[in-house]
């Protein structure tokens, strides 16, 4: 892992803006993945390069890179890098080694479906080209990873356009966790309507839940939205109810890491509570997700694997001294599942799905299939 650029608060140009950097990029000259190390934000903007498989796995697992689309892009280029030294192997040995590398990278985080989706696309690209030899398969993998990145930019832009049809100028919008540019190649998912609205002068006021335990709403969403000049207010997670009751929130926009076939969605822990509150106060609750996040092979949210993270993230990670008594048990699931009944609509790049989701999500995937023919 190598540091490419460093900008710590108080040590850098005041015009330095996190949005000036790509969340994930690929350095063709060095044949390395370049990411923003998100564990250091907002106090330090640091770009690092990743080349080895352990470096890439560690970056995904520790959330140096995070957000379902950004994880998928990183994994895609990661599998390409795994294939590079294998290109002189016989075909079967190449495919076996590729399968092993795919399994290794997919083990980094289990909940985000984009991780497995991107790795599967990469494997398919290799298999389509393998008849021309392993070197041709590796080249095809490079091109597929590059397309996954460019596709994400196009998709997020369309998510923003579709989401913008659901709001009005001057609205107060609430978001939970980070589904912004830092979670994608550009624009974000849940934040895409906010960025496009800002371009069009909609004058949104965006409220960001801090989002325990990793504080991604505070460290990342509030940081990037304010960097873009959007009117942004940070609130503690337990303030959402009183804020909604006050009438300041007209809609909730969140991202997600997986959409089940029935419309249940997995997102950062705490999203379920926000959805329950929105339902109580009659506020529309929108999930913004690329179609790659829709997993029709997972019938309901009950089948979505929920990542369990270290209790240290709750008990001591953010404190000068340990905050909780030693020896206690601590729960730290990374995600919860929001029931489809609580979701007003699911915004995708192929349109807006509404209940019943078992039907509308099927239609979205059919549109996706026709678009690729």
Q: Which active-site residues does the annotation give?
A: 257
As a three-state string, the secondary structure of the chain is CEEEEEEECCCCCCCCCHHHCCCEEEECCCCEEEEECHHHCCCEEEEEEECCHHHHHHHHHCCCCCCHHHHHHHHHHHHHHHHHHHCCCCHHHHHHHHHHHHHHHHCCCCCCHHHHHHHHHHHHHHHHHHHHCHHHHHHHHHHHHHHHHHHHHHHHHHHHHHHHCCCCCCCEEEECCCCCHHHCCCCCCCCHHHHHHHHCCCCCEEEEECCCCCCHHHHHHHHHHHHCCCEEEEECHHHHHHHHHCCCCCEEEECCCEEECCCCEEEECCHHHHHHHHHHCCCCEEEECCHHHEECCCCCHHHCCCCECCCHHHHCCCCCCCCCCCCCCCCCECEEEECHHHCCEEEECCEEECCCHHHHHHHHHHHHHHHCC
C-alpha–C-alpha distance, residues 24 and 40, integer Å: 16
C-alpha–C-alpha distance, residues 184 and 156, integer Å: 8
* Token output for 119: 């790795």
Could you give phi then psi for residue 84, rounded to 5 degrees?
A: -50, -50
Rg of the chain over all Cα atoms, to the nearest angstrom: 20
Q: How many residues does the chain have?
A: 373
C-alpha–C-alpha distance, residues 40 and 185, integer Å: 19
**How far from the centroid of its chain's Cα atoms is residue 79's Cα?**
19
């Amino acid at each position: 892992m190598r540091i490419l650029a460093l900008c710590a608060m108080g040590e850098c140009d005041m015009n330095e803006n996190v949005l000036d950097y790509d969340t994930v990029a690929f350095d063709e000259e060095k044949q390395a993945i370049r990411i923003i190390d998100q564990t250091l934000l907002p106090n330090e903007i640091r770009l690092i390069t990743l080349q080895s498989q352990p470096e890439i796995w560690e970056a995904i697992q520790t959330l140096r890179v995070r957000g379902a689309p950004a994880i998928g892009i990183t994994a895609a280029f990661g599998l390409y890098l795994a294939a590079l030294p294998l290109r002189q192997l016989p075909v079967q040995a190449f495919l076996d080694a590729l399968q092993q590398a795919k399994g290794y990278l997919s083990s980094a985080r289990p909940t985000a479906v984009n991780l497995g989706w991107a790795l599967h696309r990469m494997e398919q690209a290799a298999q389509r080209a393998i008849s021309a030899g392993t070197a041709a398969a590796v080249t095809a993998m490079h091109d597929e990873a590059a397309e996954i990145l460019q596709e994400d930019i196009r998709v997020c832009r369309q998510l923003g356009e579709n989401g913008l049809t659901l709001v009005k100028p001057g609205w107060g919008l609430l978001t939970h966790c980070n589904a912004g540019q830092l979670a994608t190649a550009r624009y974000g998912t849940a934040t895409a309507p906010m960025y496009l609205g800002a371009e069009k002068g909609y004058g949104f006021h965006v409220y960001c839940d801090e989002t325990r335990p990793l504080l991604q709403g505070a460290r990342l969403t509030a940081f990037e939205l304010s960097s873009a000049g959007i009117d942004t207010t940070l609130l503690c997670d337990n303030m959402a109810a009183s804020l909604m009751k006050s009438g300041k929130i007209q809609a909730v926009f969140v991202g997600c890491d997986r959409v089940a076939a029935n419309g249940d969605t997995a997102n950062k822990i705490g999203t379920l509570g926000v959805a329950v509150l929105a339902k109580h106060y009659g506020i529309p609750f929108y999930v913004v997700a690329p179609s790659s996040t829709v997993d029709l092979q997972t019938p309901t949210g009950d089948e979505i694997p929920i990542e369990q993270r270290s209790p240290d993230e709750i008990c001591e990670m953010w404190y000068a001294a340990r905050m909780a008594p030693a020896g206690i048990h601590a729960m730290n699931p990374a995600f919860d599942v929001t029931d489809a009944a609580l979701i007003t609509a699911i915004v995708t790049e192929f349109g807006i799905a509404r209940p019943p989701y078992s039907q509308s999500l099927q239609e979205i995937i059919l549109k996706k299939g026709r678009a690729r023919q």
